[in-house]
Structure 1
Amino acid sequence: MLNSLPIAVCLALVIALGVTPLVRRVAFRIGAVDRPDHRKVHSKIMPRLGGLAVFIAFAATVLLFGQLDNRIIGLLTGGCLIIWLGILDDTRGLPAKVKLAGQIAAAAAVVPFGIQVEFITNPFNGHLVQLGVWGVPVTVFWIISVTNAINLIDGLDGLAGGTSFIAALTLAAVTWRQAGLLGGAGLEVVGLALILAASILGFLRHNFYPARIFLGDTGSMFLGYALSVLAVMGVAKAATAISVIIPMVILGIPLLDVFFAILRRYQSHRPIFQPDKEHLHHRMMALGLSHKQTVLAIYAINLVLGISAVILTMLTTSQAVLLLFMLAVAVIVAANKIGVIGKAGRASVAASRTLQQRSSKM
């Protein structure tokens, strides 16, 4: 694939650019639309199903240029399942339990094809911990977690797509850095990640603010699924001391947004799956950022985390632990200040608003 990778990347970009307007018309025709409500920031009916264009571009390019080994077949098989689940949800609406069951089925579908977390590296001593039979539930849990994380962050035009684009590029860069440890499998993942990034970029032309089409659950779930599976195929296979941490850094924003959502709902004694308007993008807009400024600010944070993930592959274990500690402290302080954690966070946001109002009167 690497010899023809530039052509493959260009083809994926062109297909996504050309197919997205067609998918937009189909979405209106079959009723796959998103209607505004009190939680959403858009004010008119918008077509969903945009993720179908991303999937078509990715799958068509991989089928044309990839060598169809078991792992690629598994990736595409699970992708088809998650796409069908998303289409049903975008057109009919599915209960949360049904969506979760479908996600479990799609995640488990890749295991028979050899896509599985087989070990976890202890970051403190570098020793491998073989998972054995526990590898299957760990794999399924990881794929479901990332799938839902990207799904939940999809609240502003271009946000989930841009976050996934940066994550795919970072995944390609990190896997390239570790290609010596992964062999041919690593180079294969580099190609797949770049094709995914090109497919997303072609779609973003129609999805960035002001969007003409949304990813929908079809797209946000597929992007989360694809990124999580590629991480298992690539970075998670590297026997390095920090290999278990790197995918979490690459996908830091969506994963932390989910974690903080669970935390604040637990604090407020609300159901974990109950939606709210306190996600990262909501809180940043509450601080006074515009729609576009919020998306670009989160892109910048994703870039910092992506660069940090690449740097981690160049450091010793002790240096990597220090960098991770610094990132963790920065994230917790920022999350509390912005207001995504809970009551303390909301109080600080209110205080900052008061200060802004006072300064404007002076």
Structure 2
Amino acid sequence: MREYLLVFLVAAAVTYLLGVVAREVAVRTGAVAQVRDRDVHAVPIPYFGGVAMLGGLVAAYVVAQSLPFLSTAQATVFDDAGTVLVAGALICAVGVLDDLIELNPLMKLGGQVAAAGFLVLNGVQFYFIIQPGGGQMTLDTLQAQLFSILLVVATVNAVNFVDGLDGLAAGVVGLGAVGFFVFSYTLADANDETLAITAALLCAGLAGVCAGFLPHNFWPARIFMGDSGSMLLGLVLAGSALTLTGQFTPRVFVDGTGGDTSFLPVLMPVLLPVAILIVPFVDLVLAVVRRTAAGRSPFAPDKQHLHHRLLEIGHSHRRAVLIMWLWAALLAVGSVVASLYSGPATWAALGAWAVLTVVATFSLPRVRTSL
């Protein structure tokens, strides 16, 4: 655990330091977010936060290879992590181009599919799905590859869609990475598997880069992550989930739930990435439905995302971000707890947390107005 903490700290420190450099490069190259009707910032803000994040992930990866315990991991641990980072560099490069010249949506989607394809061609993909009752559904090669690419592209776009307020995407993904780290680490520990696993390594680094970027990005932001950052975060989070079925056997997923083979705990390991990003996924689906119903492209931007609606009902910028963090934490932590533990106390605690979050979401603006 201490070595994972060091990986987190290295990723955070390097990202924070590179954020200053990235901001200066963005200003000099003209990669700046101008103020548009749908935006909530009032002055132009530099992009390229994703480049700083990529640097933080690479630094954490290099340091991890020299640590006493993690350096003894099987070769597949660092091979798979390296594959995810290379794919991350590819999608980050696509994002940099978009920040500079604004690629059309189809070109951007093509870059996302290419990066996801690189993952599956190098063995980072789903290999099986756990069924209710503890059974296993093995996927053939084409099914596994298509399912894996779909998960990566959906996650990338979900994070991209939620990146609409200062600090929002970094906080949501950071909380999700912490939740997924706890899940993968506990799963390995409970089954006496090695604790040096790719998912934990990637999530420790991912949480670190989010923490290191937030001081630059929380309202009022001095730099934006841009598409280079949002797509990178989505790919690394999805990639960390894909590595689990490549390094764990089906028995680990069933036994890791305490032998409970009921529907929710057994399926949760596969559904966990979706649960972690359920808020941006819901936002993504609503946006596609809303735009296509209006006869517009599903990629056409608008100002009707969930975070925009929080501002409309009376939340301040910072409070809207904090409330969406609360939802993300509830779903990330709740998913982990539900997949590893069960019982009335667990559901009661999660229910109470949900009620408090709903109250904060809808009641605080009214209380503020009445004062």
| TM-score normalized with structure 1 length | 0.84
- State how 1:186-265 maps to structure 2 within 5 Å: 187-234=197-244, 239-240=253-254, 241-242=266-267, 243-265=269-291
Name the aligned partner's letter for residue 39 of structure 2: K
Distance 2:42 2:55 in 1: 29
Corresponding residue to 2:172 among 134, 153, 163: 163
Partner SS, residue 340 of structure 2: coil
Alignment counterpart, residue 121 of structure 1, candidates 130, 137, 159: 130
For 2:319, the equivalent position in structure 1 comes to 293
3-state secondary structure, aligned to 1:141? helix
State the AA in 2 paired with 1:284.
L
After superposition, where does 1:1-362 map in structure 2 within 5 Å?
4-66=3-65, 69-122=78-131, 124-133=132-141, 134-179=143-188, 180-181=190-191, 183-184=193-194, 187-234=197-244, 239-240=253-254, 241-242=266-267, 243-315=269-341
CA distance in 1, matches of 2:82, 2:180: 20
Q: 1:108 to 1:184 in 2, by over 3 A?
A: farther
- State how far apart, in whole Å, the 2-side matches of 1:12 and 1:248 are: 24
Percent identical: 32
Q: Which amino acid aligns with 1:226?
A: V
Please give the root-mean-square deviation of Cα atoms over the aligned residues, in Å: 2.8
| The 10-residue stretch of structure 1 (191-200 or 179-188) with the greater mean CA deviation from structure 2 | 179-188
How many Å separate the matches in 2 of 1:250 and 1:37? 30
Deviations 1:148-175 (A, max 9, x none): 1001110010000111110110110111
284 and 149 in structure 1: CA distance in 2 versus 1, 3 angstrom threshold:
same
Q: CA deviation at 1:315?
A: 3.7
* CA 111–295 in structure 1, closer or farther in 2 if over 3 Å, else same: same
Which amino acid letter does the alignment assign opposite residue 299 of structure 1? W
What are the ranges of 5 or more consecutive residues in structure 1 without an aligned counterpart?
339-348
- Cα 1:39–1:96 shift into 2, 3 Å: same
Partners of 1:23 and 1:315 in 2: CA distance: 42
CA distance in 2, matches of 1:247, 1:360: 39
Do the aligned residues in 2 keep the contact of 1:34 with 1:45 (CA within 8 Å)? yes
Structure-1 separation of matches of 2:291 and 2:165: 21
1:50-99 superposed Cα distances (whole Å, 9 cap, x missing partner): 11111101112202323563212211210110111111111111010000
Structure 2 contact 125–144 (Cα < 8 Å) conserved: yes
Tell me the number of residue pairs that the alignment of Structure 1 and Structure 2 aligns. 332
Contact 2:95-2:229 at 8 Å conserved across structures:
yes
What's the TM-score once normalised by structure 2's chain length?
0.82
Q: CA deviation at 1:309?
A: 1.1
Greater displacement, 5-14 / 244-253: 5-14
Runs of 4+ deviating beyond 6 Å: none
Decide whether the 8 Å contact of 2:185 with 2:195 is kept in 1. no
8 Å CA contact 1:46–1:212 kept in 2: the answer is yes
In structure 2, distance between residues paired with 1:235 and 1:208:
35
CA shift digits 1:114-163 (9 cap, x unpaired): 211111122x3232111112000000000000001001110010000111
Q: CA deviation at 1:182?
A: 8.9
Residues 10 and 59, structure 2, Cα contact 8 Å, conserved in 1: no
Offset at residue 44 of structure 1 (A): 1.0
Give the superposition deviation at 1:10: 2.0
- 3-state DSSP class of the match of 2:52? helix
